[in-house]
Structure 1
Amino acid sequence: MTLRIRLLLMIGVSMLLLWGGVAIWMLHDLEREMQRTLDQRLEMSAHMVAGLMSQNPAAWDGRAGKAGVSTLSVPEAVKGLACQVSLRGEVIARTPDAAPEAIAMAGIGFADRELKGEHWRSYTLDKLGLRVTTADRLTERNTLLRNVMVAAIVPFIVALIGSLMVLWFGVGNGLRPLERLRQVLASRTPDALTPIQNAPMSRDLLPLVDTLNHLLARMSETFSRERRFTSDAAHELRTPLTAIKTHLQVARITHGQEAAVAMDYAEEGVARLQRTLSQLLTLSQVEGAFSWEDGHLAEANEVAHLAMRDAAPDAPERIELDSDASGAVLALPQALAVTALRNLLENALRHSPAKNSVRLEVRHGPDTISFSVCDRGPGLGDDELALAIQRFWRRRGSGRGSGLGLSIVAAIAERFGGSFELLQRSDGGLEAKLTLPRKKQLPSN
């Protein structure tokens, strides 16, 4: 169903219900007023006849007891209206439609009765022995009421149909700018991410066009970043694959110690390739739509110990732990917290002399928990600090690592509302500070 038809149906049904309710209310009141008016006509007719007769009672008294009844002629246009006058129980005048036996049974006031298959509404007035009865045939009443209702309903129906036609063209005209925008979007190529020109657009569509332009800008930035990521990943994966292939070829054509060394180098290349792929998978999950809501939340000190164990399984003494966050729980999955902290520790251990230790400080606040990893390596320059968290960036001359560790740390911090920064230490080395959100504690009763 198109938007035009949906709007027309919504507005049309609303108008039909609203005006239909008003019409039913109006017709109900109209019927009641007409019945009341016709009853007043009967009553006024009876009073008028009685008043006229009372002006000359001697003339009518002389008719009492004489044979014959005066029949009043009624024009053809008022057929269905009957009247009968009786004096002291004797009928002295009546219209052709009046039935003496039925009217004689009528009580004072209004009454409904059926005569020869027809329904009548009558009014009887008794005053000083003079009895006047007027009656309406209900068939004529219903016909009159039906004609009045038709006269009221037909203009309403015509107006409703006309309104729907005006709505059809009005909605179509109102949606024309949106149709032009649709045509503009449909004519664009899949790789066209330039902003939409909003100069000829309707003022009402400017917020939509601005939102689309912001979306296109974000998509362009995302595609550019992914293209760079794909290019860098291909380059990084090509290097270990080429080395592995070369070492395997050397091992195939040599024997003894040279073949063993070549296999060791190939195995080292496989390990490097495996680690790079693992880091790429972690980064794609953190930056993508992967859901981590069901992950196990962990206590800060537990995260620190797990990261220390993974970063230095053979030399745990190289890492000094200073923590005051006992019992503090992180508001993110344990696996991601351990991954981020392990990357920081591995990076610090890799660039620190073997005889020097790395210091890990864990501090807790009301809403956050911070992990500070301090090393005694050569540190980084100001320009290098800005480049350090970019993917696949490594200091010139350093062939170790995949260049993804700090990028993963920054992505995890951004994903869960934390922060990550690299600081140059005054006494040499680098401080990597990771701040993560803390799980809120429920107030105790």
Structure 2
Amino acid sequence: MTLRLRLLLMIGVSMLLLWGGVAIWMLHGLEQEMQRTLDQRLEMSAHMVAGLMSQNPAAWNGRSGKAGVSTLSMPDTVKGLACQVSLRGEVIASTPGAAPQAIDHVGPGFVNREIRGEHWRSYTLDKLGLRVTTSDRLSERSTLLRNVMVAAVVPFVVALLGSLMVLWFGVGSGLRPLERLRQVLARRTPDSLTPIENAPMARDLQPLVNTLNHLLARVSETFSRERRFTSDAAHELRTPLTAIKIHLQVARITHGKEAEVAMDYAEEGVARLQHSLSQLLTLSQVEGTVSWEDGRIAEANEVALLAMRDAAPEAPERIELDSDASGAELALPQALAVTALRNLLENALRHSPANNSIRLEVRRRPDTVRFSVCDRGPGLSDEALVLAKQRFWRRGSGRGSGLGLSIVAAIAERFGGSFELLQRPEGGLEAKLTLPRKKQLDAN
């Protein structure tokens, strides 16, 4: 079903229900008002006849016998009306067609009766010894009411149908800008991610066009980032693969100590390649839509201890821990929190002198936990501090994959935290990783 037809049906059904209810209410009120008006006519007719008779009492005082035959002819439009005047049970005057049964056992007021197979609505008035009865044929009332209802309903139905037709063309005209936007998008090629020109668009479509432009900008940025990522990854992986290939060739053509050294270098290259692939996989999962819910509670101190164990399994004394965040739970999976902190510790250990230790501070705040890693390395320039978070960036010909800090930044961004590198006045770097805490802890 098209949007145009759906809108027409929704609005048309709403109009039909609304105006149908109004019409039923109006017709019900009209029927009651007509019945009341016709009853008033009967009552007024009886009072008028009684008033005329009372003005000439000589015409009926002491009268006996039967009523004379009326010489009046009744038009077709009033054949549904009848009137009888009686004195002491004797009809002394009546309209043509009026039956004497109309006054039999009839008390004052309104009553519905069946006379000669027809249903009548009668009103009887007793005044000055006279009894005046006026009657309406109910079939005539029904015909009158039906004609009035038809006269009221037909214009309503015509107006409703006309409104639906106007609405059909109006909805089509209103959706025309949206159709033009669809045509603009349909003419685009898959790699066309430039913003949509919104000058000729309707003002109501500006928010939609702006949202589409923001989406196209984000998609374009994602594509560019992925292309750079693919290119950098291919370059970074080609280097260790080439080195492994060379060392294996050397091991094949040599023997003894030289072959062992070549195999050691090849094994080191494999380890480096494996580490790079692991970092690449982690980064792609963090920046993607993969769910990391592992069911483990990320407690700040436990995260710090696990990261220290992984970063320096052979020299744990090189890391000094200072923490006041016991019991603080983090609002992210434990595996990612450990990965981010481990990368910071590995980076600090790699660039600090072998005989120097690094310091890990864990500070608890109302909504966050801050991990600060301080080293005593050579530090970085202001320009290098900006580049350090980029993928595959390494200082000089340093070892490592160049992905550790970019993974830390990606984890912090995904879960609403922050990551910054600062130059320490006394030398070295301070890496600050701020991660959110679980909100339910604040209510306890």
TM-score by length of 2: 0.95
Q: Which SS does the other structure have where 2:349 is aligned?
A: helix
Name the residue aligned to 2:49: 49
Distance 1:56 1:322 in 2: 125
Name the residue aligned to 2:28: 28
Name the residue aligned to 2:205: 205
1:67-114 CA distances to partner (integer Å, 9 max, x unpaired)? 755575322221121121211111122233222124323221100012
Name the residue aligned to 1:348: 348
Spell out the pairing of 1:215-364 with structure 2 (5 A cutoff).
Answer: 215-293=215-293, 295-364=295-364
CA 1:98–1:153 in structure 2 vs 1: closer, same or farther (change >3 Å)? same
User: Once the 2 structures are TM-superposed, how far is the Cα of residue 27 of structure 1 from its aligned partner?
Assistant: 0.8
Name the residue aligned to 2:407: 408
User: Once the 2 structures are TM-superposed, how far is the Cα of residue 413 of structure 1 from its aligned partner?
Assistant: 1.2
User: Once the 2 structures are TM-superposed, how far is the Cα of residue 346 of structure 1 from its aligned partner?
Assistant: 0.7
Distance 2:318 2:47 in 1: 121
- Confirm or deny: 8 A CA contact 1:299 1:328 kept in the other structure: yes
1:240-273 CA distances to partner (integer Å, 9 max, x unpaired)? 2222233333334444433333332222222112
User: Once the 2 structures are TM-superposed, how far is the Cα of residue 116 of structure 1 from its aligned partner?
Assistant: 3.2
Name the residue aligned to 1:366: 366
Distance 2:365 2:268 in 1: 42
For the aligned residue pairs, the C-alpha RMSD in angstroms reads 1.8
Q: Which SS does the other structure have where 1:122 is aligned?
A: strand
Unaligned residue ranges in structure 2 (runs of 5+): none
Distance 1:366 1:205 in 2: 43
Name the residue aligned to 1:140: 140
- In structure 2, what residue type is equivalent to 1:371? F
- In structure 1, what residue type is equivalent to 2:360? L
Q: After alignment, is 5-14 or 71-80 more displaced?
A: 71-80
Distance 1:403 1:372 in 2: 20
Distance 2:378 2:272 in 1: 24
CA 1:433–1:200 in structure 2 vs 1: closer, same or farther (change >3 Å)? same
Distance 2:239 2:329 in 1: 41
- In structure 2, what residue type is equivalent to 1:151? A
* Pair 1:86-2:86 in alignment: yes
Q: Which SS does the other structure have where 1:65 is aligned?
A: coil
- Confirm or deny: 8 A CA contact 2:42 2:122 kept in the other structure: yes
Q: After alignment, is 188-197 or 110-119 more displaced?
A: 110-119
CA 1:350–1:100 in structure 2 vs 1: closer, same or farther (change >3 Å)? same
- Confirm or deny: 8 A CA contact 2:417 2:434 kept in the other structure: yes
Distance 1:67 1:82 in 2: 15
User: Once the 2 structures are TM-superposed, how far is the Cα of residue 189 of structure 1 from its aligned partner?
Assistant: 0.8
Q: Which SS does the other structure have where 1:13 is aligned?
A: helix
CA 1:429–1:442 in structure 2 vs 1: closer, same or farther (change >3 Å)? closer
Distance 1:29 1:74 in 2: 32
Q: Which SS does the other structure have where 1:326 is aligned?
A: coil
Q: Which SS does the other structure have where 1:406 is aligned?
A: helix
- Confirm or deny: 8 A CA contact 1:286 1:412 kept in the other structure: yes
- In structure 2, what residue type is equivalent to 1:228? R
- Confirm or deny: 8 A CA contact 1:71 1:95 kept in the other structure: no
Distance 1:52 1:72 in 2: 17
Distance 2:257 2:66 in 1: 157
Distance 2:62 2:324 in 1: 128
- In structure 1, what residue type is equivalent to 2:123? Y
Distance 1:256 1:201 in 2: 77
Name the residue aligned to 2:128: 128
Q: Which SS does the other structure have where 2:380 is aligned?
A: coil
- In structure 1, what residue type is equivalent to 2:422? L
- In structure 2, what residue type is equivalent to 1:124? T
Distance 1:294 1:103 in 2: 97
User: Once the 2 structures are TM-superposed, how far is the Cα of residue 62 of structure 1 from its aligned partner?
Assistant: 5.5
TM-score by length of 1: 0.95
* Pair 1:174-2:174 in alignment: yes
Distance 1:230 1:316 in 2: 36
Percent of pairs identical after alignment? 85
Q: Which SS does the other structure have where 2:292 is aligned?
A: coil
- Confirm or deny: 8 A CA contact 2:67 2:93 kept in the other structure: no
- In structure 1, what residue type is equivalent to 2:177? P
CA 1:53–1:311 in structure 2 vs 1: closer, same or farther (change >3 Å)? same
* Pair 1:107-2:107 in alignment: yes
- Confirm or deny: 8 A CA contact 1:4 1:172 kept in the other structure: yes
Name the residue aligned to 1:425: 424
